[in-house]
Structure 1
């Protein structure tokens, strides 16, 4: 349980840092771009480039926050509970969406990127998708374990 608590605290620190980063992006890049309609001729998405980066950051934040909530449910209610199962599934969904949007964003902006950065971004997006799918698998393990635990409790 100590490792789960450590992971929960680590995700809390990452989420706080990500919230600060998103507010900075919103305040310094997104809002001024939308207010002044700044035209980026060198960007494939133009004025909306920073907005899309901000929205992708929100997807990541929600995915990590749901995962953090799933860990908190494990700490409070034990490993086999429906709350953590649901939170891990939702966290996995948001992480998969973040990875898919990362691949799409990477393909759209490929002319702006060097080849090594393009490949690195692509691999990172694939990795995030795999982590999201891993959370789906973990949720299924929790569900199956909960069913087995319930059956075991009924037989005793």
Structure 2
């Protein structure tokens, strides 16, 4: 059985969800580029991911980059960013021709804690919003209920 190796840009790759999902992709043989507004921060997190991959046979590699550079170097893009600012960020990226995976949950935070936000009159999702903003990309939603601490574990 042959498996494809992809380069996956993880936008929001310095946060717990992005770092954990990136680690899982790399652990299973894909190269990852952790994207951030600050390339230096992304590089530091990539070093942390690479340190965990040293003993994993067949693992991919991790590196950090600014968001736009991460997207440019990848064939698959994972959006793991907070919903606040989501649409502005997605609109700014060059995603045409890319496969985009969104794990973004539209959440708001206030004195009640975290709660769901209504997207498109209750008829939409963050992934659908990303697709509308980037019609030349193929956008899918996945990994919405995967806990970040479990992703960083060894199992």
| Shorter-chain TM band | under 0.3
Name which one, 1 or 2, has greater alpha-carbon Rg. Answer: 1
More strand per residue: 1 or 2?
2
TM-score, normalization by structure 1: 0.26
TM-score, normalization by structure 2: 0.26
